[in-house]
């Protein structure tokens, strides 16, 4: 049975740092829009922290995905808390900034507009949505990191 609690310190640190970086407007948006590369890198950073503190242990691919998913959820929560004042104060300006960028695909523009809309319903709905998406992308990042970067610490199930 997988015990996600054992990953907590590493996931809290790696996910929180990633959440802070992703909360920065424009930089975070770029990392978010490029296939959630920021979230996947945060999952890999969390895995590195965990593997460095547990030198005698190895991870199965399922463990790696669980670690990455937990890191993604922490990233989403940290990002949501830090983005809240940004959305409330500068949300309209950032929405207008992205609306004026005609080189962006319509889907990206509408998603970025919705991300910075200071509407209370959009703000409330964004937390579970971000948590779900970031968990999935964190799991993908954890799996990729275990299969490529930390191959020597992979335990075959």
pLDDT at 14 (0 to 100): 95
Per DSSP, the three-state class of 36 is coil
Q: How far is CA 54 from CA 26, 50, 67, 113, in A?
A: 36, 6, 14, 42
pLDDT at 6 (0 to 100): 87
Flag residues of the chain having pLDDT under 50. Answer: none
pLDDT at 157 (0 to 100): 64
Residue closest to 144 by CA, chosen among 31, 32, 21, 36: 36
Per DSSP, the three-state class of 149 is coil
pLDDT at 1 (0 to 100): 59
**Can you tell me the distance from the alpha carbon of 35 to that of 117, in angstroms, rounded to the nearest whole number?**
22
CB within 8 A of 150, min separation 6: which ones? 47, 48, 51, 59, 64
Token representation of residue 117: 């809309």
**Can you tell me the distance from the alpha carbon of 59 to that of 17, in angstroms, rounded to the nearest whole number?**
23
pLDDT at 121 (0 to 100): 83
- Quick one: 64 exposed, middle or buried, by C-beta within 10 A (0-12, 13-18, 19+)? buried
pLDDT at 143 (0 to 100): 96
pLDDT at 75 (0 to 100): 95
Give the domain ranges of the chain.
7-151
């Amino acid at each position: 049975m997988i015990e996600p609690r054992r990953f907590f310190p590493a996931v809290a640190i790696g996910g929180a740092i990633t959440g802070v970086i992703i909360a920065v407007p424009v930089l975070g948006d770029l990392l978010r829009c490029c296939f959630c590369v920021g979230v996947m890198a945060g999952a890999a950073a969390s895995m590195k922290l965990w593997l460095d503190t547990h030198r005698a242990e190895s991870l199965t691919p399922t463990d790696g995905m669980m670690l990455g998913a937990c890191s993604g959820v922490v990233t989403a929560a940290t990002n949501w808390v830090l983005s809240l004042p940004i959305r409330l104060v500068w949300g309209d300006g950032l929405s207008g900034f992205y609306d004026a960028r005609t080189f962006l695909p319509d889907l990206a523009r509408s998603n970025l507009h919705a991300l910075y809309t200071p509407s209370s319903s959009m703000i409330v709905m964004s937390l579970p949505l971000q948590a779900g998406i970031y968990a999935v992308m964190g799991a993908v990042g954890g799996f990729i990191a275990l299969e490529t970067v930390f191959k020597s610490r992979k335990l075959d199930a």
